[in-house]
């Protein structure tokens, strides 16, 4: 199943169209009634139900020597804060918008991108009638589509309102997304959170895989008027946002990621492993399958002779990253610090491949979340503690 899990991270050649298309100025009511978010079936993850966020999560750490160590990601009891997740474009439903029945792709991406946050918070992940992969492919090819982006946003806004009314009770909450999910959270922050009392409950928002525009040289005042980019691990009420490319590669002119279409605006970049700037080693938690997704470059063996049977693989010391601004683009530059002489892999998969060719305009969009997942979980713990201390 893991081969298709992240068919989400915008993992199709179409996802960025939605990820980077700004939502309409004011959402209209959806064409159909909003889903019933008082029903457990309307949630991929929700406290009190057996779901993908309660599934076993094991990790094999592959050292530079090739030695393997297994650990398990725990579920914290009585978590004092919450996490609210909006998944990326993954639905394999045939229409323009998905239905409200969780399919393996939707469950799989929540498992791979979100379930690890259960070691910090109570986990909430609503199903929503997202724009499907089929609809996004139609957009790229110029074919007609009946996809309704307003419906997708309105569903998440309804789920958020239901969560606040039924579950939050003044608790701190971290919003987490990727690609289409990050775009929806960005709109939710701008329309339903900034300038409202509920903003005081937002510990942070993690929205990689989507361009968050800020005035050049500033941390706020663009897409989000008040919430700044996070620049310290103890800072709260801020945003972690980035788009990632391999070290040595720059988003090409036709890239939808890393380049601002608006003069005077730049794409915001925060490195979860070094919010203050500079290069730092990443604590990646990567899906362990040989090919992360069907249209991804294939993953070589993690180490010579190694057999991995866990959900995730960690590769301590292998990946590092820093935010860079080059040739008019701003992005998270991810470097593989490999040693050809040791038994561990020298390359991490994550490129989008179409017709046998790597698509450079996508960068490492497929693994935006997983390349920094361990760092994001650690940051969530630190920011939650800081928020609770202030409260």
User: CA 37 → CA 128, 163, 164, distances in Å?
Assistant: 10, 8, 11
- Crossing angle for the helix pair 180-188 and 149-163, to the nearest 10 degrees: 60
Q: Categorize the per-residue pLDDT at 391 as very low, low, confident or very high, splitting at 50, 70 and 90.
A: confident
Q: What's the CA gap between 364 and 299, in Å, rounded?
A: 13
Query: Hey, CA dihedral for 224, 88, 333, 233, is it positive or negative?
Result: positive
Is pLDDT above 70 for 1?
A: no
DSSP 227: P
DSSP 353: E
- The pLDDT tens digits for 166-198 are 999 999 999 999 999 999 999 999 999 999 999
Is pLDDT above 60 for 8?
A: no
Q: What's the CA gap between 278 and 284, in Å, rounded?
A: 18
- The pLDDT tens digits for 70-108 are 999 999 999 999 999 999 999 989 999 999 999 999 999
Tokens of 319: 């990946």
Q: Categorize the per-residue pLDDT at 138 as very low, low, confident or very high, splitting at 50, 70 and 90.
A: confident
Is pLDDT above 80 for 12?
A: no
- Give pLDDT, residue 25: 36
172 close to 4: Cβ distance less than 8 angstroms: no
Q: Which residue has the tokens 């949630």?
A: 43
Is pLDDT above 90 for 389?
A: yes
Q: Between 249 and 136, whose confidence is greater?
A: 249
Taking all residues of the chain, what is their mean pLDDT, rounded to a whole number? Answer: 90
- The pLDDT tens digits for 273-286 are 999 999 999 999 99
Q: Between 186 and 359, whose confidence is greater?
A: 186
CB contact set of 15 (below 8 Å; sequence gap of 6+): 8, 9, 88, 89, 133, 136, 179, 180, 365
């Amino acid at each position: 199943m893991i081969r298709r899990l992240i068919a989400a991270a915008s993992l199709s050649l179409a996802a960025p169209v939605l990820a980077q298309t700004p939502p309409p100025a004011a959402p209209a009511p959806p064409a159909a009634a909003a889903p019933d978010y008082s029903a457990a079936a309307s949630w991929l993850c929700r406290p009190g139900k057996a779901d993908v966020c309660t599934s076993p999560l094991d990790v094999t750490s592959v050292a530079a020597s090739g030695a393997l160590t297994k650990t398990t990601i725990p579920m914290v009891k009585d978590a004092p804060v919450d996490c609210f997740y909006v998944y990326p474009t993954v639905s394999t439903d045939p229409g323009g918008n998905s239905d409200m029945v969780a399919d393996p792709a939707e469950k799989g991406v929540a498992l791979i991108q979100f379930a690890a946050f259960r070691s910090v918070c109570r986990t909430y992940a609503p199903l929503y009638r997202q724009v499907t992969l089929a609809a996004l492919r139609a957009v790229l090819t110029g074919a007609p589509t009946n996809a309704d982006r307003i419906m997708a946003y309105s569903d998440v806004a309804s789920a958020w309102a239901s969560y606040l009314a039924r579950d939050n009770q003044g608790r701190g909450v971290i919003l987490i997304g990727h690609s289409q999910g990050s775009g929806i959270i960005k709109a939710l922050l701008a329309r339903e959170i900034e300038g409202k009392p509920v903003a005081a409950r937002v510990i942070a928002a993690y929205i990689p895989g989507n361009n968050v525009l800020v005035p050049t040289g500033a941390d706020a005042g663009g897409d989000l008027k008040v919430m700044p980019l996070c620049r310290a691990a103890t800072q709260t009420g801020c945003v972690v946002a980035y788009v990632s490319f391999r070290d040595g590669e720059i988003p090409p002119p036709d890239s939808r990621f890393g380049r601002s279409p608006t003069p005077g605006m730049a794409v915001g970049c925060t490195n979860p492993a070094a919010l203050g700037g500079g290069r730092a080693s990443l604590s990646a938690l990567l899906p362990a399958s040989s090919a992360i997704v069907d249209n991804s470059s294939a993953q070589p063996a993690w180490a010579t002779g190694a057999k991995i049977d866990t959900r995730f693989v960690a590769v301590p010391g292998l990946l590092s990253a820093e935010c860079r601004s080059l040739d008019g683009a701003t992005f998270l530059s991810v470097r593989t610090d490999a040693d050809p002489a040791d038994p561990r892999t020298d390359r991490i998969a994550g490129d989008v491949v179409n017709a046998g060719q790597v698509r450079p305009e996508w960068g490492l969009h497929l693994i935006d979340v997983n390349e920094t997942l361990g760092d994001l979980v650690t940051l969530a713990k630190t920011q939650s503690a800081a928020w609770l201390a202030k409260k």
